[in-house]
Amino acid sequence: MDNLLVHGDNLPALLGLHSTHRGKVRCVYMDPPYNTGQRQGQGEFAYKDSRESAAYLDFLGARVEACLPLLAPNGNLFIQLDDNELDYVKVHLDGLLGREQFIARITVDARSPSAFSTVNKGLFKASEYLLWYCKDRSSFESYPLRVPRAPDSAYRMWLDNPQDPPEQWTLSSLAKACPKDEPLERFQVRMAARVARLASISDTKAGKATLDGKARSKANPASVVVVERPGRETQYLLRGQQLLFYGKQVQEIDGQRCASRPLTNVWTDIAWEGIAGEGKVRLKGGKKPERLLRRVMQLTTQPGDWVLDPFLGSGTCAAVAHKMGRQWIGIEQGPVALEARGRLERVVAGQDRSGVTKVTGWRGGGAFVFQGLGESGG
């Protein structure tokens, strides 16, 4: 089946997809109007973003329900919102999907205060949120990510003789091992497998094998004690503490070897400044960074999986899915759908150099069908 851009109202469009894409979609991303009570957009893209709260929940809930038959058993649903309706939507979705299907509320650092915005009363609203649900907790699958972080200065030890058995290891100062012409942090990352630190072992939380090893290590403080644990990683103990190696914290991310940490539910590392020109579509208000959508897809999809965005807007979700080798469906009504079409044509032609193009290695290719409701293709 072809990638599909549908021009029309998303509710009948979603219902129409039930006959062709039922159970196929791995990830649904929704970026609906936030019900701000204000007029959004400019010119021909403007719309009034104002409904009674109950009507808003009915509007959004109907579209969520229409998406559910399209989700694969291991599918996921993300809805992006701000403070206006977030908590009400969460309760509403718990009722529709079941609280047990809720995975996470992700806080996204979406904007920085400026001299103009800080005059407002109260706190400046910098965050937006992603509500993440799965289709079926028993079939839930995701792909954990690590993100770059500053080097950890607690790792200050250097393994002199990694070729020897652990019981014969000797450790010295990382600073002394570092060449004088190389920055210490760069050397620490480059040689991470030989960089280490000590960490205390809890007498109440550690298992019996670890505590026995701790006692042996204290009795023989000059040697490294090896603790084998069936089904778990081998532990190395020195002077009654665990010997941790920096190599587990260093990873290649987007082509660069760096210190890293597990991704959490607070995302502060995705820049929103400078995204106005991504895809050569300037849509004032509501446009999302390509890197944000890439992360959502990295967490929940693999190449070839289907991604669906019923509120496609300027086409960000579909553009990212295409660059990442996912199959996609986007739905949008009004003139903005034509802007999304132009953007996706540039992606296919390899003319879009913005967003995640470089990091995904995208050079162009593929195709999509542009279809109006009631049409068979185009």
Burial 285-313 (b: 16+ CB within 10 A, else e): ebbbbbbbbbbbbebbbeeebbbbbbbbb
Higher-confidence residue: 286 or 138? 138
**Rounded average pLDDT over 7-24:** 97
**pLDDT at site 292:** 98
**pLDDT at site 286:** 72
* 3-145+263-372 CATH pick, 3.40.50.720, 3.90.1200.10, 3.40.50.150, 3.10.20.90: 3.40.50.150
Residue 43 has pLDDT above 70, yes or no: no
**pLDDT at site 320:** 98
Give me the amino acid identity at 225: V
Closest CA to 107 of 266, 289, 291: 266
For helices 53-67 and 10-21, give the axis angle rounded to 10 degrees.
20
pLDDT tens-digit series, residues 224-260 = 999 998 889 999 999 999 999 999 999 999 999 999 9
Give me the amino acid identity at 166: P
Q: How far apart are CA 306 and CA 328, in angstroms?
A: 5
**Rounded average pLDDT over 143-166:** 96
Closest CA to 9 of 331, 285, 279: 331
Q: How far apart are CA 357 and CA 364, in angstroms?
A: 9
The structural domains of the chain, with segments of one domain joined by +, span 3-145+263-372, 148-253
Q: How far apart are CA 173 and CA 187, in angstroms?
A: 13
**Rounded average pLDDT over 28-43:** 75
Rounded percentage of the chain residues whose pLDDT exceeds 90: 82
Q: How far apart are CA 375 and CA 378, in angstroms?
A: 8
Residue 109 has pLDDT above 70, yes or no: yes
Give me the amino acid identity at 31: D
pLDDT band at 378 (very low <50, low <70, confident <90, very high): very low
Q: How far apart are CA 344 and CA 281, in angstroms?
A: 11
Instruction: Show the tokens assigned to 168.
Output: 């014969």
Higher-confidence residue: 348 or 113? 348
56-70, 160-174, 183-197, 272-286: lowest mean pLDDT where?
Answer: 272-286
Burial 212-225 (b: 16+ CB within 10 A, else e): ebbeebeeeeebbb
pLDDT tens-digit series, residues 294-328 = 999 999 999 999 999 999 999 999 999 999 999 99
